[in-house]
Structure 1
Amino acid sequence: MDVSMCVHAYATSCVCTCVHVCKHIYQVGSLFAARFEQVAFSFNGGKDSTVLLHLLRAGYYLHKGKSECFQGNLSDSMLNCPIRTIYFESPSAFPEINAFTYETATAYNLQLETIRSDFKSGLEALLKEKPTKAIFLGTRIGDPNAVGQEQFSPSSIGWPPFMRVNPILDWSYRDVWAFILICKVKYCSLYDQGYTSIGSIYDTVPNALLSIVDSSSTTEIFKPAYMLSDGRSERAGRTKKLPLKCDTACLNNGMTNVSQSGSFIASIIVVGDEILFGTAEDKLSAVLCKKLNAIGWQVTRMIVVQNDIDCVAAQVEQQKSTNDMVFLLGGLGPMHSDVSLAGVAKAFGVRLAPDEEFEEYLRLLIGKHCTGDRNEMALLPEGITELMQHSKLPVPLIKCQNVIILAATNVSELETQWDCLLETPSHPLMRLPPFMSKHLGTMLSDVETAQTISKLCLEFPDIYIGCQRKSRVGPLVITFVGKDKTRIDLAAEKLSNSFPAGAFSEADCG
C-alpha cells in the first residue's frame, strides 16, 4: 500500500469516526431533557477545540436531518452552528490565539461569551445568568485535566454543577491532525511555527523536536506541529512552566485539580522491580504523601515502575509536565538496576555527564576504593541538575528542574532528607495550609449510608469525603479531608445526625 492509499484509508476511518461522534454528541439533549440553549461549548482556539467545533457543526446538521453536510469536504460547508460558545480570555494568552478565536467566532457566527475573570468565578456567574446543563470540551486522554474523566463526567466537587462532555477524549495527537488536514479546516498559526501544545506565553515554547538545523538562518526554525512523529512528545514545548505556578487554564475542577483551590500538586514515582515482584513493600511513598499533605500539597499519583530506563523516562516525562513537583524514589546507586538518573536524563532529553562537585561528595562518603562505580554514580543529567546541600546530609539531594530525587532506603532516612529539603534556602516547596482529616466508623452497610454520603458531597464541595472498609466484617470508615477544620467537623456532625445516635463514632485510620 503506497502513501496515498494509507492516507485515503486513514481518512475514511477518520470520517467514519467523526460521523459516529457527531451523532453521539447530540444524544446529550435527550439525556438532560434540555433546550439547545442550555448546552455550551468551551472554545480556546487550540487544535483540539478547533476539531470539536467542526464536529459540533457537522453534528448539529446531522441532528437536523442534514447528513448531506458530510458529503465532500467538511470545511467547504459554511453552515453555522448556533451553540453558545464560552471563551476564557487570559492576559497571558498568545495574541495569535486571541485573534484566531475571534476570527473563528465571526466566521461561524458563534454566540461567543467571553469570560475575563478567573475560571471558577467566571463560570459560576455565567451559569447563574444562563442555566447550562452540559459543556462540550476538547479534552483528550493525554491532557493533564483528563485524569479520571470519561466521555460524560459531572463537574468536580467545588464547582457549579454541569456535565462535562468529552467527545474526542480517546483521540490521539495523530487523529487530531489527520482530521484538521484531511478536512482542511483553519487552525491557529502558532502550530505552523512549531508549537504542539499551547498554554500561556509564560509556559509555552516551540517543540524542540521540530527544530530545523539551518546554519544560514540567524533565528531558530521549526517544522509545523503536524510533523511531530511521536504524539507522546506533544507537551514537550511546555518546558518554560514554572514549578510553583498555579495553572488554572482548564475546566477540570475541584479536588482533582487542587491548584485551583490554592494548593500545588505533586506525583511520586517509585523505581523498584522488587516491589512489583512482591518481594518488598513500598512504605516510603505513603510517608512522603503524608509529608506533602502536611504542607498543603496534594498528591495526584503514586506510581511504581520497573528498573528500566525507558519506563522511568516515560513516567518522569509525563508527570513533570502535569505536576508542580515530581518526587523520585529508588534506583540510585552503583548497581546495574540503578537507572533512575539515566531515566530522568532521557525524559528531559539531556545526557548524563560527570559532576565534579557531586563526585567529591561521593569520594568523601565511599573512599578511594570502588573508583569505577563511584565515577558512574557521579554522572548527573547535564545542564538541569541542582545539588541541594545540607549539613546533615552526606551527599546533596538532586533536583532536576521540577523533579527531586530522594536517595532514602528506609523511613528514617526519608524523614531526615525531607526535613533537610525544607530547611535548604532554595527549596521549591511553598508551605500552605495543611490538609486535615477526620474519620468516623460505623457498622452500617454501604447501601444504608451511600445516598446520605452522596448528598453530603454536594453540600460540602470543599471537603473530600471517602469511604473504606478494611475487612468484610469490619467497620465502614468515612474519611473527611480538607483545609478548614470547622467545615470538616460540620460535615462529620451532619453525617452522624442523619442516623440514629451511636451509629457513628470516631475512628483511628492510622
Structure 2
Amino acid sequence: MEIDEAIRESDDRRLKTKYNNAIYVIRRALALYSVEEVALSFNGGKDSTVLLHLLRAGYFLHKREQSHSNGVLTDHEVAFPIRTIYFESPSAFPEINSFTYETATTYGLQMDIIRLDFKSGLEALLEAKPIRAIFLGVRIGDPTAVGQEQFSPSSPGWPPFMRVNPILDWSYRDVWAFLLACKIPYCSLYDQGYTSIGSVHDTVPNALLCVNNSSSSKEKFRPAYLLSDGRLERAGRAKKFSLPVCRPAYPAVSNGMISVDSNKNSTLTATVLGVGDEILFGTVEDELGPSLCRKLHSIGWSVSQTAVLRNDVDSVAEEVERWKSTNDVVFIYGGVGPLHSDVTLAGVAKAFGVRLAPDEEFEEYLRHLIGDHCTGDRNEVICSHGTTCYCYFYCIHFNARDTL
C-alpha cells in the first residue's frame, strides 16, 4: 500500500508515531464494526483528506491480516468499500466541490451526497443505512473537539452513532507532514494561502501567509504548509481578523503586591491545589505543596486554602469551578503528563468550558533545542543520562474565537 510504504520510508519519527496510533484506532474500529456499519465523513478539506488516506491504509492492512496473505495483496486488489458521506452546500467553494468529486472518482468512493443540514441529513442517512460508526477528521484544536476521545458516542439529541476520531491528537504540522510525505493531492485552495476552509462567506486567505509584492496590486500568498504557527490556522476563517490581544487578568504586580492605585496596595491571595491519588493514599509525601506555600508567603502573598484532589477530571473541574469566580489566584500542581491518569489539564479546560490544543510554536522551539533527543512519542525526551523525561506541548485556549 503506497501510504504505508511512504510512512515507513519517512525519517520523521513523530509522523510515524502519529500514523501508527491512527491506524490502530482505525483497525480497532474495523474489528468492532462491519464495513457496512461504518462510514467516512468527507468534506474535501485537509483533515478529511488525511483521514481518507489513513482509512485506505488501515483497511488495506485490515484485509491483509484477514487474508493471511503476508503482504501479497496489491492496492488494486483491495477496493475501498467504506461508505463516504459528503454534505454538499451551496456556500462551499467551487474548488472544494471539484476536489471532492475528483477524489471520489480517483479512489472509487461510494458517495452519499446530502444536501440537508448536517443533523437532518445524518438522521435520514442513519434511518436508511445500518451505520453505527462514522470516521471524522476532528483534531484536538477544533472547536467541536471539546470532550471527545478517539471513540465517543454522539451527543445527546443527535441520532445514535459512534464518533471515531483517528487524528484527534494530530496537530496542523502533523497534517501537512503526512500530506507532503505521502505526496497526496489536496484542494488547490491550500496553495493559495487558505489554511482552514469554511464557506465562501467566512473564509479568506490567511494574512500571515501574505507575500508583500510592491510590483503587483494583487495580494499573493504562500501555501498553507508554510504557516509557521499552526495555532493560527483559523486566522482566515473571518473577513476581519486581528491577532488576540493578551490582557492581564490582574493589575500589574510588583514584589508580591497588587497595585490598585498610587496610594493603596492590597495583598494577593492564592489557593493551592494538588492532584494525585498517590498523595491521598499516603504512598508519596507531598513536598511541593508546602514548598509552594512557603514561597508565596515569602513574596508577600496570602494562601487562603490548600487541597489535594483525586486524579479525576470531574474532581479537578469542580474544584477549579468553585474557585475561579473568587479573587484568589489558583495554583495547581501534579497530574500533568502523558499518562491517562494525568488529568489536571483536562480538568481545568472542562471548568472553563474550553479545549486543549497543541502549542505548536513552543513544541517546535523545544525540538529545535533538543533535536534527536525528542522521540515524537507521547512528548518523550531522552535525556543525556539515559532516562526518559517528558515535555508538555499543550495550552488551554480560553477564547476560541480569537485564538484559532
Change (3 A) 1:187 1:217: same
**Hey, what does 1:91 align to over in structure 2?**
90
Q: Cα distance 1:302–1:110, how it changes in 2: closer, same or farther (>3 A)?
A: closer
Paired residue for 2:249? 271
Counterpart-to-counterpart distance in 2, 1:16 and 1:214: 40
1:174-206 Cα deviation digits (max 9, x unpaired):
111000001000000000000000111111111
Q: Which residue of 1 aligns with 2:126?
A: 127
Q: Using the alignment, how far apart are the partners of 2:204 and 2:192 within structure 1?
A: 10
Question: Is the radius of gyration larger for structure 1 or structure 2?
Answer: 1
Cross-structure match for 1:214? 213
Secondary structure of the structure 1 residue equivalent to 2:22: helix
Which residue identity is paired with 2:11? A
Partner of 2:177: 178
Q: Does the 8 Å contact 1:26/1:60 carry over to 2?
A: yes
CA distance in 1, matches of 2:159, 2:240: 28
Alignment of 1:401-412 (within 5 A): none
Distance 2:169 2:73 in 1: 22
Q: Which runs of 4+ in 1 moved over 6 A?
A: 273-276
In 2, the alpha carbon distance for the partners of 1:218 and 1:64 equals 54
**Per-residue Cα deviation, 1:240-282 (whole angstroms, up to 9, x for no partner):** 289xxxxxxxxxxxxxxxxxxxxxxxxxx99248888236965
Alpha carbons 1:238, 1:321 under 8 Å: kept = no
Aligned match for 2:402, one of 295, 303, 320? 320
> Does the aligned pair in 2 maintain the 1:81–1:110 contact within 8 Å?
yes
What is the root-mean-square deviation in Å for CA atoms of aligned residues?
Answer: 3.3
User: What amino acid is the match of 2:26?
Assistant: I
Amino acid at match of 1:9: D
Q: Which structure 2 segments of 5+ residues have no match?
A: 1-8, 242-246, 252-257, 259-267, 272-301, 305-322, 328-349, 355-361, 363-394
**3-state SS, counterpart of residue 112 of structure 1:** strand
Q: Which residue of 1 aligns with 2:31?
A: 30
TM alignment of 1:39-188, pairs within 5 A: 39-65=38-64, 68=71, 80-188=79-187
Q: Tell whether the 8 Å contact from 2:25 to 2:150 is kept in structure 1 after alignment.
A: no
Summarize the Cα distance change of 1:154–1:271 in structure 2 as closer, same or farther, 3 Å threshold. Answer: same
Relative contact order (C-alpha < 8 Å, sep 6+): which is higher?
2
Structure 2: how far apart are the matches of 1:37 and 1:28? 12
Partner of 2:5: none
Residue type at the aligned position of 2:156: I
**Maintained 8 Å contact 1:172/1:231:** yes
Matches within 5 A, 1:421-440: none
Amino acid at match of 2:249: V
The total of aligned residue pairs comes to 262
Task: Please tell me whether the aligned partners of residues 193 and 224 of structure 1 are also in contact (alpha carbons under 8 angstroms).
Answer: yes
Q: Deviations over 1:147-169 (max 9, x none)?
A: 11000000000000000000000
Where does residue 499 of structure 1 map in the other structure? none
Q: How does 1:166-315 map to 2 (within 5 A)?
A: 166-240=165-239, 271-272=249-250, 277-278=270-271, 282-283=324-325, 301=352, 315=397
SS in 2 for 1:149: coil
CA offset at residue 284 of structure 1? 8.1
Using structure 2 for the length normalisation, give the TM-score: 0.58
Percent sequence identity is 60
* SS of residue in 1 equivalent to 2:214: coil
Q: 1:195 to 1:318 in 2, by over 3 A?
A: same
